């Protein structure tokens, strides 16, 4: 496959940082990375939205995106790039701190402890304001990369094209895509669309587009209200595996949309009963509640959820209450709390983060 190399010049800086999700890695991304390598002897590429389950917005795992990038670099440039995965924390300050700590650790491993790296970036829109959050890192703001003077598509447009056509894409479509993505990415995508998981993501993409279209006549963008129930018993947490799109097969807290005639806690109790068959005692009050309202927490749109935690007393034999998946849940399962941290990439939306928050558990370190 063809590979592109940075222009030959003596880099002035020791290190640079380039942050992105790279879903997918396109020619604009490659142009920015080449600029970073032209300015610094080493570039740390921070791959965001790491450790998530596959979704139409994040179809590729972080190590697959790293491979996409590697395929477009010469052997010499590959040796100058370090990849650092960083999860979404749904908290900008916490995310910035995690990026900084991960980059500093990576640089220290290269004998560059304490070296402030150049921060390479492009201010596309309001989503790029995070670039101002790394005090002490000199910011290099670059113009948008173009192809033959024409603006390149962004990654969301390229994902739409892939999901719309997938393995049915014609040679002309692949040729047009090749104008937007470098050869290594094109080669990677040809293999990806043939994988079984890609068809599932394409189906979910079509479902979500139809869902968004159903709200198109609303006078204002909708804000949806949901409730979720976190039930603990004998060191286990009650979860469901979703039986419907979006997120079919992923773990989630039992929950759903609030009915107009119920309180938030009533809605959580009802959803728990409907999805797992578990009826909570009428006099059992929730131990705690929390609101999760990050604007990007759900692909369905602006969705604010209220989580409630109930703790059940286990019997002397250690038996757990019987549960059964029903309604929109394919399965209902009691999972040991100790096992949760190994399942980060198998959770729907931000439910993994909700669990860690409400159970006061640390994030796993990989």
Tell me the mean pLDDT in the region 289-305.
Answer: 97
Percent of the chain surpassing pLDDT 90: 83
Structural domain contains residue 145:
yes
Please tell me whether residue 264 adopts helix, strand or coil conformation.
helix
- Nearest-Å Rg of the Cα atoms of the chain is 23
What does the angle CA 77 – CA 16 – CA 45 come to, to the nearest 5 degrees? 65
Residues 178 and 297 in one domain: no
CATH number of 285's domain: 3.90.79.10
Instruction: Compute the distance between CA of residue 76 and CA of residue 5 in angstroms, rounded to an integer.
Output: 8
What does the angle CA 307 – CA 311 – CA 313 come to, to the nearest 5 degrees? 165
* Residue carrying structure tokens 């979860």: 239
Structural domain contains residue 366:
no
Q: Residue 23 pLDDT more than 50?
A: yes
What's the domain count of the chain? 2
Q: Single out the residue in 153, 182, 198 at which a domain terminates.
A: 198
Domain that holds residue 138: 13-198
pTM of the model: 0.92
pLDDT at residue 86, rounded to an integer:
98
Using the 8-state DSSP alphabet, how is residue 57 labeled? S
With a CB cutoff of 8 Å and minimum separation 6, the contacts of 167 are 193, 194, 198
Residues 49 and 175 in one domain: yes
Residues 161 and 103 in one domain: yes
Structural domain contains residue 204:
no
Tell me the mean pLDDT in the region 306-317.
Answer: 85
Q: Residue 59 pLDDT more than 80?
A: yes
Residues 249 and 350 in one domain: yes
Yes or no: say if 328 and 243 are a contact pair by the CB < 8 Å rule.
Answer: yes
Do strands 236-242 and 288-292 pair parallel, antiparallel, or not at all (unpaired)?
unpaired
Please give the residue that has the higher pLDDT: either 204 or 165. Answer: 204
pLDDT at residue 129, rounded to an integer:
83
Q: pLDDT tens across 72-103, in order? A: 999 999 999 999 999 999 999 999 999 999 99
Structural domain contains residue 83:
yes
Yes or no: say if 16 and 43 are a contact pair by the CB < 8 Å rule.
Answer: yes
Q: Residue 253 pLDDT more than 70?
A: yes
Give the DSSP H/E element, type plus range, for residue 352: helix 351-359
Q: Single out the residue in 181, 198, 215 at which a domain terminates.
A: 198
Yes or no: say if 142 and 122 are a contact pair by the CB < 8 Å rule.
Answer: yes
Tell me the mean pLDDT in the region 167-181.
Answer: 81
Yes or no: say if 58 and 49 are a contact pair by the CB < 8 Å rule.
Answer: yes
Residues 291 and 335 in one domain: yes
Please tell me whether residue 301 adopts helix, strand or coil conformation.
coil
pLDDT at residue 361, rounded to an integer:
97
Tokens describing residue 28: 């604009």
Residues 190 and 228 in one domain: no
pLDDT at residue 177, rounded to an integer:
85
Structural domain contains residue 203:
no
Q: How confident is the model at residue 144 (pLDDT cuts 50, 70, 90)?
A: confident
Residues 285 and 188 in one domain: no
* Residue carrying structure tokens 């790491």: 50
Structural domain contains residue 34:
yes
Report the 10 Å Cβ neighbour count for 331.
16
Tokens describing residue 213: 């279209």
Q: Residue 39 pLDDT more than 50?
A: yes
Q: How confident is the model at residue 170 (pLDDT cuts 50, 70, 90)?
A: confident
Yes or no: say if 280 and 302 are a contact pair by the CB < 8 Å rule.
Answer: no
Residues 114 and 185 in one domain: yes
pLDDT at residue 9, rounded to an integer:
60
Q: Residue 147 pLDDT more than 90?
A: no
Q: Residue 26 pLDDT more than 90?
A: yes
Average pLDDT score over the chain: 92
Residues 163 and 252 in one domain: no
Residues 118 and 39 in one domain: yes
Q: How confident is the model at residue 358 (pLDDT cuts 50, 70, 90)?
A: very high
Yes or no: say if 349 and 293 are a contact pair by the CB < 8 Å rule.
Answer: no
CATH number of 78's domain: 3.40.50.620
Report the 10 Å Cβ neighbour count for 74.
12
DSSP H stretches of helix in 147-293 = 155-165, 171-178, 183-192, 196-214, 264-276
Structural domain contains residue 365:
no
pLDDT at residue 1, rounded to an integer:
43
pLDDT at residue 38, rounded to an integer:
96
* Residue carrying structure tokens 């007393």: 313
Residues 301 and 182 in one domain: no
pLDDT at residue 143, rounded to an integer:
82
Using the 8-state DSSP alphabet, how is residue 73 labeled? B
pLDDT at residue 199, rounded to an integer:
94
What are the DSSP E strand ranges found in 10-69? Answer: 13-20, 40-47
Q: Single out the residue in 160, 182, 198 at which a domain terminates.
A: 198
pLDDT at residue 61, rounded to an integer:
98
pLDDT at residue 2, rounded to an integer:
42
What are the DSSP E strand ranges found in the chain? Answer: 13-20, 40-47, 81-85, 118-121, 139-141, 146-147, 150-151, 224-233, 236-242, 251-252, 255-257, 288-292, 303-312, 329-336
Tell me the mean pLDDT in the region 175-183.
Answer: 89
Residues 73 and 126 in one domain: yes
Please tell me whether residue 248 adopts helix, strand or coil conformation.
coil
Structural domain contains residue 186:
yes
pLDDT at residue 128, rounded to an integer:
74
Please give the residue that has the higher pLDDT: either 238 or 128. Answer: 238
Q: Is the peptide bond before 24 cis (omega within 30 degrees of 0)?
A: yes
């Amino acid at each position: 496959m063809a590979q592109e190399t940075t222009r030959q010049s003596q880099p002035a800086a020791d290190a640079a940082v380039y942050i992105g999700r790279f879903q997918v890695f396109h020619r604009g991304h490659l142009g920015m990375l080449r600029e970073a390598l032209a300015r610094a002897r080493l570039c740390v590429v921070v791959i965001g939205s790491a450790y998530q389950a596959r979704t139409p917005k994040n179809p590729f795992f972080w190590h697959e995106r790293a491979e996409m990038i590697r395929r477009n670099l010469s052997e010499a440039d590959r040796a100058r790039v370090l990849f650092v995965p960083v999860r979404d924390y749904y908290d900008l300050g916490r995310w910035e701190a995690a990026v900084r700590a991960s980059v500093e650790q990576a640089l220290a491993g290269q004998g560059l402890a304490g070296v402030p790296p150049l921060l390479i970036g492009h201010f596309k829109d309001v989503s790029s304001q995070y670039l101002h959050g790394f005090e002490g890192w000199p910011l290099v703001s670059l113009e948008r990369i173009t192809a033959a003077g024409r603006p390149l598509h962004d990654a969301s447009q390229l994902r739409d094209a892939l999901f719309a056509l997938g393995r049915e894409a014609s040679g002309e479509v692949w040729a047009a895509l090749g104008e937007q993505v470098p050869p290594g990415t094109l080669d990677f995508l040809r293999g990806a669309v043939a994988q079984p998981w890609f068809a599932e993501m394409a189906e979910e993409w079509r479902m979500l587009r139809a869902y968004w279209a159903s709200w198109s006549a609303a006078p204002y963008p909708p804000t949806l209200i949901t409730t979720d129930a976190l039930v603990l018993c004998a060191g286990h947490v009650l979860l469901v595996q979703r039986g419907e799109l979006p997120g079919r097969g992923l773990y989630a807290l039992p929950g759903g949309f609030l009915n107009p005639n119920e309180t938030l806690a009533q809605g959580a109790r009802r959803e728990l009963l409907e999805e797992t068959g578990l009826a909570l005692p009428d006099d059992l009050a929730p131990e705690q509640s929390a609101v999760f309202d990050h604007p990007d927490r759900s692909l369905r749109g602006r969705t604010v959820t209220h989580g409630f935690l109930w703790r059940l007393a286990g019997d002397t034999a250690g038996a757990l209450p019987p549960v059964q998946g029903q309604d929109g849940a394919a399965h209902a399962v009691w999972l040991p709390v100790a096992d949760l941290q190994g399942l980060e990439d198998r959770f729907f939306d931000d439910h993994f983060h909700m669990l860690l928050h409400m159970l006061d558990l640390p994030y796993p370190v990989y």
